[in-house]
Structure 1
Amino acid sequence: MMARSIAVTSPLIQAPALILSALTTAQEANAFMNQFNFDLNNHYHSSMRRLMVDVHTRHGNALADANPMSAARYRGMAQGLERVALSVLNDSILYHACSEMVDELERLHEEMMAEPNDAEGEV
């Protein structure tokens, strides 16, 4: 009998660049969220943190795909989370975190929009 070996490659090795980009963006989002004092024993804080990471990640993916309309939708969602934290939950810690995320998404958007103009000026 002949022994046969089957080569199995890891799914991560076969993963497209988009998935790897999404993982990087999720790691960046988690790093951004870690600077805030979320009380993860508080259900609202843990749920809001998950939503914020999701919005931040999807916004980053939209920017990476050069899709400004989709990125604008995620900035709108971030502003909605900010309003919920202030008006519905009345939680100043969540409001501050959401406000900072809105500012961060705006900054990232402005950087993306400025890149083509900078390249034209250098030529």
Structure 2
Amino acid sequence: MEEFAETAVNAGVIPALVELLRGKLTWVEQRVAVQALGHLATYASTFPAVANYGVWGGLVNGNSPAGIGLLQPICSYKIDRGPITSCPGIIEALCNIAQSSDDWQYMAIDCLLWLLQDPNYLS
């Protein structure tokens, strides 16, 4: 529920979740953080808090797939993909990952395709 997401963001949960994405703990905890941030990012009222915290672990840390792991579910949902495209550096980061030869290449390609196929994004 959006009201619970707002409460979590206002309570300051985002810095703690981002620390988990940066590999401070185990991969299981990273996965939990990705799911929690993905949930928070699906609401228009809480997406800016997630987006503004800074482009999410794997997009800036080559040792962690957490950032792309977060973007993939957000891009796959049809609920307001606009904030993803307006977040500075996201499209460039997805393009860079899509051109790489690592395991996350296909995830980035999927994200870009979902964004390109969205009629709201193209308008």
- TM-score normalised by structure 1 residue count: 0.36
In terms of fraction of residues, the more helix-rich structure is 1
- TM-score normalised by structure 2 residue count: 0.36
